[in-house]
Structure 1
Amino acid sequence: MLRASSGYSSGEDSPGGDSPQEPGTPVKPTSESFRERAVWAAQGLALGLVAAALAWPAATYVMKQARAVQQPDPVPQESALRAAGNIPPRPTVVMGGKADFGKVKASVQARQLASWVMAGYDHGGRPFAILDKRQAQVFVFYPDGKLAGATPVLLGYAAGDDSVAGIGLRPIAEVRPSERTTAAGRFVAQPGRNALNEDVLWVDYEAAVSMHRVRVTNPAERRLERLASPTPKDNRISYGCINMPVKFFENQLWPIMGKRGGIVYVLPEKKPMEQVFGEQMKRAQAGMPT
């Protein structure tokens, strides 16, 4: 019946039923075939409407999901990313800047080194600190070269500009007084914790040298009195670490270098400054960044 309703016969099912026809010969439709075609058309239309009604909610849902997937997420504001700490702050200084000590007194060597650092962009836009061992004083700078603060500090007991090889792996009891030096040079400092679980700024991790709060574990050493004295001559007492007043560490150093670290420059006390910081001097003269 389905093939007959198409208006063509193959001879297997002749509409008239009187005589066979040649395959593919057109046959004149009868009234019965019209009724059959109408019924099938109505049934097909009804089925189509039902299928469309059932499929429409699903199709709508799929289209909505597709649009949701294709639509990009809104781009977060840069200020929000910076506040969350996901991207570093922009450098606030450009090559060729100048160091600003304000009204704080500083040695000629400390001022010269700060000038080289800024002129050659040696700090790479990071905060930095300069330790003047001869004066037992630390200067902490913002990335733009402005002084954040200065403080007296305690240093390694022995004078010298180098660390003994492997000193950081030896027990303190095995470190001789002549080996308790605070080495000179440029150090990439990183915040961390020591064996006592205290916040420290690691200056030279391999040599176990850090900047940290002054500790009063041995009253006979008179560390607080040494920090308060007007002369740097009695500030040599540590095993090499740089001890500073608690308030300065917590209010000046740590807020500036406690998250991403910075650069620490330790001035020499025996070697010529040009020998230790020759590269910084050359970059400053040439105006080249690190």
Structure 2
Amino acid sequence: MKLMTGNSNLPLAKSIAAYLELPITDASVRRFADEEVFVEINENVRGEDVFVIQSTGYPANDNLMELLICIDALKRASAKRITAVVPYFGYARQDRKPGPRTPISAKLVANLITVAGADRVLSVDLHAGQIQGFFDIPTDNLYAAPVMSADIQARFSGRPITVVSPDVGGVVRARALAKRLDNAPLAIVDKRRERPGESEVMNIIGDVAGRFCILVDDIVDSAGTLANAADALKQSGAEDVVAYCTHGVLSGAAVSRVDNSALRELVITDSIGAQAEAIASGKIRLLTIAPLLAEAIRRIADESSVSSLFD
């Protein structure tokens, strides 16, 4: 097999390549003067099983086009099988029609990746599980929960842990993590979202007084939800609050909001290339999912079980 990457997250691609002890395919992914994306593969990939590693975070449209053009270049170079490895699947939050005359952009992106020539998709913590059904090709949705639970047990073992979902929609994700933490108690933040990017906490469902609370979510974007949830948990008597989120989008003033919040720490994975501001923050820590992705890639190439990674 071969590994290829766009420009969205080179450090993650290099870590995956190091784990698999494979070189990254020699390819040029660059821009013309008018910002058109151009891809040229500088080695033979005919008959190869190729994995294209490319997150579609900011700038989402540029990174998505890079992915599509990489896939097209591989298809025209006669690669045997092309797997799009998309650690962070952009547009995933547009998975339904929230109102009349609105798009389902996650389905559109799934169509684009399929039509470009991908034979398979590998992603991590899709925002909504039904996105797997948007693809007409095999799709593997990996979970960061094993990586997070190992980190929590190493750092906070012995603390009175309660896993907290920042909204009702994230309960399944929070319960899965709580199960890995010896069936830790579960709490839910009941919130009302007035408009995209803004949320108001209403109340806490569950007992958090004197507990070490771990907020768990798939995406942290503006960080408003986490900051409000941390404040509400503290007001309800929580001993301390730590947040674990898979995808650190961290747009706008998110890093500043985290720094000034009641959160003791925000832990994100390297599914998206970390911003310099986030790296410099004293409250934000990075966990790598490179071994998880690399092992899944190895198993797909070997035609062995991927789901057994989470047993």
TM-score, with structure 1 as normaliser: 0.23
Say which structure is richer in strand.
2
The structure having more radius of gyration, on CA atoms, is 1
- Higher RCO (CA < 8 A, seq sep 6+): 1
TM-score, with structure 2 as normaliser: 0.22
